[in-house]
Amino acid sequence: MLGKSSLVFKLIALIFLFSQAVFAIDDKPWTSDIVTRDFNGQIDDKIENYHYDHESTSLYYLNSSLKLNIINFKSNKVNTIPLSTNKDILSTLPNTWVPNIPLNANVELIDSQVMNQIYKKLSELKMVMSDKEIFLIDNGGGMVFKINLNDFLVERHDLSFTTMNKFGGDVFIYNDDIYHHGGYGLYITNSTLLKYNKNYKTWDEIVISNEFPNPKGITNHTSLIWKDEYYIIGGNSTINQTEIKNDQLLKYNFKTNTWRSLGTVSLDFSNKVDISAYGEHFYILNGDLGVLTVLNVEKIEVNSYSMTQPDNQFNNGGLGNDQIIFICNHLYSRSQPEKSFEDKNKETLFENNIVNYFVANTSTYQASIFKSFKMSDFVNLNSKKNLILFDERKSRNEFIIPIIIVLIVLILNTIYKNIKKGKDKIIQKLYSFEEGVLKFKNKEISLDENSIMILELLYTKDQVSSNDVVGLLVDNGMSMDYASKIKNKTIERLNEQFEFITGSTEKFIQTLKSKEDKRIQVIQLIKD
């Protein structure tokens, strides 16, 4: 009996030692499933979402078969890693993730369809990297999944719920924390800023010191982070199913916890443009017009450049909305990527950056070709044009500069009145304009600041071009379009009041063609 017990004990010990030896040889059995190949510029996948790590120059994306693909541009290698989910993940998912399956379907078919649907849904989530860990964030808000890079298991990480009000919101990383800003859902656009608490696995709302500049909220916007500040351009609000474009440059300061509108911008954010960001620059690519617009948030300036369209790869002038585009500071080549241009001690120069994108390969189903170009390859750097974004100096000198302008105008007005003593007496009786006060037949006319500015300009000169009037209003902080509208409305209103009070058939402010150039409109006050 003892001999048999001893034999069993030895057998168990032998099995134990054998198992230990097996696991000692391969303590990570999944490593055998990783496929590594050379990256030749083509991928046989349709990428929904991605994360680009500038530090490692690696592109991460998840396909619909739950395979994590990592393209390393330094080594020109692609690692394809099959992922898996734990058994209880299904119980943590909303019903909308589970497909409708016929009642008479067999168990194998049900399991297959359910998992295929879940894999597809996971591939559509927004991908971010925090603390060298990959997270997948639900587009509608709430759910957070984590890709465990030790065992390559995808698991539900959060203890929150599906909020369904953050669609189109902006997911970004600051100091390795995950944020989710804005979004649409439940028939309203919001502006809430959420921060994911990894310890408690919940979303916390950031209580801002002041209100978001756009009370209607924002979604589908483009952002960048520069020197502890979060900048936003583009995007829209939805009110009663009506889409309202955001035309402001907005920023949030993480240190002061405040929002600020830097001003209204005169840039095209239509659906025909592709907007990307890198460093302190926003890149607005309009292929239809062949123009690249570069907005520098550090200097608060904007410039435009004409495009040369390399290899005619911009899809007849414009990148499609389904194509991925990102900016970095290295250049891909099939042999060896070029050395980074970036000097961390200096500001990033946009002309040294690289635009990267995937274009559809029509010869292969759901395959894409990777393209990489220096800015100088498709942008004419000599075509630089400085554009008027807004007068950022107005905020710093909003009191001093107007006072100086008024004083100068008053001095010039005094000089002008002394010179123009021979003005027609009848006309003098019809109207007068002194010290910012306009009278028609001694009846004082109520004027706003814009009207006074225009009249001061017209009163000091015989003729003023229409563009000069618009330019004066633009210098006072208006956009070009808005300044033109204000000019026209002011002239129309004053002419109507002059005719009603004086009975004169002549217009108080006359619009004529320039004698020197018939293409130019000039404006003048009524003459004798």
Query: Which contiguous run of DSSP H or E holds residue 184?
Result: strand 177-185
- Residue 517 has what pLDDT? 73
Beta bridge partners of 174: 177
Higher pLDDT, 400 or 286: 286
- Residue 346 has what pLDDT? 47
316: buried, middle or exposed (CB in 10 Å: 19+, 13-18, 0-12)? exposed
Is the separation of the CB atoms in 496 and 513 below 8 Å? no
Nearest alpha-carbon partner for 183 in 192, 174, 196, 175? 192
pLDDT digits (tens, 9 = 90+) for 69-89: 999 988 899 999 999 988 788
**Parallel/antiparallel/unpaired status of strands 84-85 and 153-156:** parallel
- Residue 204 has what pLDDT? 95
> Is 60 exceeded by the pLDDT of residue 301?
yes
What residues contact 205, with CB distance under 8 A and at least 6 apart?
A: 192, 193, 194, 195
- Residue 528 has what pLDDT? 53
Give me the count of residues in the chain. 528
pLDDT digits (tens, 9 = 90+) for 13-45: 433 433 333 333 233 434 558 899 999 888 887
**For the chain, which residues make up each domain, given as ranges?**
23-160, 165-264, 274-390, 393-525
pLDDT digits (tens, 9 = 90+) for 362-384: 655 667 788 888 888 888 888 99
19: buried, middle or exposed (CB in 10 Å: 19+, 13-18, 0-12)? exposed
Neighbours of 187 (CB within 10 A): 10
Nearest alpha-carbon partner for 155 in 202, 60, 89? 89
CA distance 306 to 104: 61
User: What 3-state DSSP class applies to 450?
Assistant: helix
Question: Angle 449-459/466-475 helices, nearest 10 degrees?
Answer: 140
User: What 3-state DSSP class applies to 22?
Assistant: helix
pLDDT digits (tens, 9 = 90+) for 320-371: 445 667 888 877 776 555 655 454 444 456 778 888 888 776 655 667 788 8
Higher pLDDT, 63 or 128: 128
pLDDT confidence bin for 239, thresholds 50/70/90: confident
- Residue 378 has what pLDDT? 81
Cα end-to-end span (Å), the chain: 134
Pick the CATH number of 393-525 from 1.25.10, 2.40.70, 1.10.10, 1.10.3470: 1.10.10
Nearest alpha-carbon partner for 70 in 44, 123, 62? 62
Nearest alpha-carbon partner for 45 in 364, 368, 319? 368
- 23-46 burial: b if 16+ Cβ within 10 Å, else e: eeeeeeeeeeeeeeeebeeebebb
E-assigned strand segments in 35-160 = 35-38, 42-43, 50-53, 58-62, 67-72, 77-82, 84-85, 126-130, 133-137, 144-148, 153-156
452: buried, middle or exposed (CB in 10 Å: 19+, 13-18, 0-12)? middle
Provide, for the chain, the percentages of residues in helix, strand and coil under a 3-state DSSP scheme, each rounded to the nearest 5.
25, 35, 40
Percent of the chain past pLDDT 90, that is, above it, reads 32
pLDDT digits (tens, 9 = 90+) for 260-275: 999 998 887 776 788 8
- Residue 108 has what pLDDT? 65
- Residue 452 has what pLDDT? 83
Neighbours of 172 (CB within 10 A): 16
Which range is most confident: 49-53, 344-348, 375-379, 482-486? 49-53
> Is 50 exceeded by the pLDDT of residue 10?
no
What residues contact 381, with CB distance under 8 A and at least 6 apart?
A: 305, 351, 375
Range from 107-111, 303-307, 421-425 carrying the lowest mean pLDDT: 421-425
Is the separation of the CB atoms in 283 and 275 below 8 Å? yes
> Is 60 exceeded by the pLDDT of residue 319?
no
Is the separation of the CB atoms in 359 and 371 below 8 Å? yes
Is the separation of the CB atoms in 121 and 98 below 8 Å? no
Is the separation of the CB atoms in 438 and 445 below 8 Å? yes
| Mean pLDDT, residues 466-489 taken together | 82
